Amino acid sequence: MASGGPRVLVVGGGIAGLGAAQRLCRHPAAPHLRVLEATAGAGGRIRSERYFGGVVELGAHWIHGPSQGNPVFQLAAEFGLLGEKELSEENQLVETGGHVALPSVSWTSSGTRVSLEVVTEMANLFYGLIDQTREFLNATETPVASVGEFLKKEISQQVANWTEDEDTKKLKLAILNTFFNIECCVSGTHSMDLVALAPFGEYTVLPGLDCTFVGGYQGLTDCILASLPKDSMVFDKPVKTIHWNGSFQEAAFPGETFPVLVECEDGTRLPAHHVIVTVPLGLHMCSVGLLLGSSRSLWRLCRMKKCFCL
């Protein structure tokens, strides 16, 4: 890693931070790079453990849309973490519409087998409504604020027209509830009521049949980490705040001025030419505002203007 290049600090050692660091290190004019990770290990929310002779994913589970347009798929293929089926052109060309494939067999909590026809009927209803939500992209107004509200409103209208007995209606609602839970997993949220309806259509669905890592998802972050220079990762280094648009100096770089200063919770102050911030999606905007050295209102303004991307 060249020491004379620009000094770049990456905040966060999850897959976003590791990926950014790897990309920078591959550049011909590789910068003086450090990745600041708050915990004792890399990978963020990606964690795989071995139990009962198999792999248990405690974080990310699968590659959504494994095809050439997916950088996660590209990295997994590069590191040899996928099998022949996952790498096949046939698998990469499958158009799923962003929907998880239906199970071949379904059971109730009491052990009763559920008719595949009923599951398919509810899947068509639910995913048909999901597809409708994308029609509100760029709309000046939406009938309701969230995807969850829209789905529940439309489903309640459908339920009013059901003519089956009460047990069948309850079964159908239970199946729909399961699809709600699956969609929450896909969208990375606790509730679809927290997902705004208007921008939901911005999500780009890539082709490819979703696939898993035989050896665990953590193998990907482990490989990326191993590809980085040994001195690039700094663990147990939580960042307190970032000071922007300044003029900072450091003894290790005499005569050089840096526009950004990263202040860590242990008192360490690290000047840099550039800072890449990667934070968990669930981090509260007040916390992000403090991290970026800005107020909550300014953080909200940046989000509205799409000035800050993770």
**Confidence (pLDDT) at 174:** 95
**Confidence (pLDDT) at 219:** 96
**Confidence (pLDDT) at 120:** 95
* Mean pLDDT for the chain overall: 87
Per-residue pLDDT of 43-63, as tens digits, reads: 998 999 998 889 999 988 889
**Confidence (pLDDT) at 298:** 43
**Confidence (pLDDT) at 280:** 72
**Confidence (pLDDT) at 310:** 34
**Confidence (pLDDT) at 251:** 82
Q: What is the mean pLDDT of residues 273-288?
A: 71
Q: What is the mean pLDDT of residues 236-251?
A: 91
Cα distance between residue 170 and residue 259, in whole Å: 61
Q: Which of 35, 23, 86 is nearest to 215 (CA)?
A: 86
Per-residue pLDDT of 167-198, as tens digits, reads: 999 999 999 999 999 999 888 889 999 999 99
**What value, to the nearest 5°, has the Cα angle with vertex 234 and ends 231 and 59?**
115
The domain locations on the chain are 106-201
Cα distance between residue 251 and residue 248, in whole Å: 11
- 293 Cβ contact list (under 8 Å, min separation 6): 241, 242, 243, 244
Q: Is the separation of the CB atoms in 1 and 27 below 8 Å?
A: no
Q: Where are the beta strands (DSSP E) in the chain?
A: 7-11, 32-36, 48-51, 54-57, 106-107, 113-114, 233-234, 239-243, 260-264, 269-272, 274-277
**Confidence (pLDDT) at 288:** 53
The residue with greater pLDDT, 253 or 294, is: 253
Distances (CA, A) of 242 to 5, 40, 108, 264: 21, 21, 51, 9
**What are 45's two structure tokens?**
């929310």
**Confidence (pLDDT) at 239:** 94
Q: Which range among 106-110, 197-201, 278-282 shows the weakest confidence by mean pLDDT?
A: 278-282
**Greatest CA separation for the chain:** 81
Per-residue pLDDT of 2-40, as tens digits, reads: 456 789 999 999 999 999 999 999 887 777 899 999 999
* DSSP β-bridge partners for residue 48: 57
**Confidence (pLDDT) at 118:** 95
**Confidence (pLDDT) at 150:** 97
- The pair phi, psi for residue 9, each rounded to 5°, is -115, 130
At residue 121, the 3 state secondary structure works out as helix
**What are 25's two structure tokens?**
């290190």
Q: What is the mean pLDDT of residues 146-153?
A: 96
At residue 211, the 3 state secondary structure works out as strand
Per-residue pLDDT of 66-103, as tens digits, reads: 999 999 999 999 999 999 999 999 999 998 877 777 77
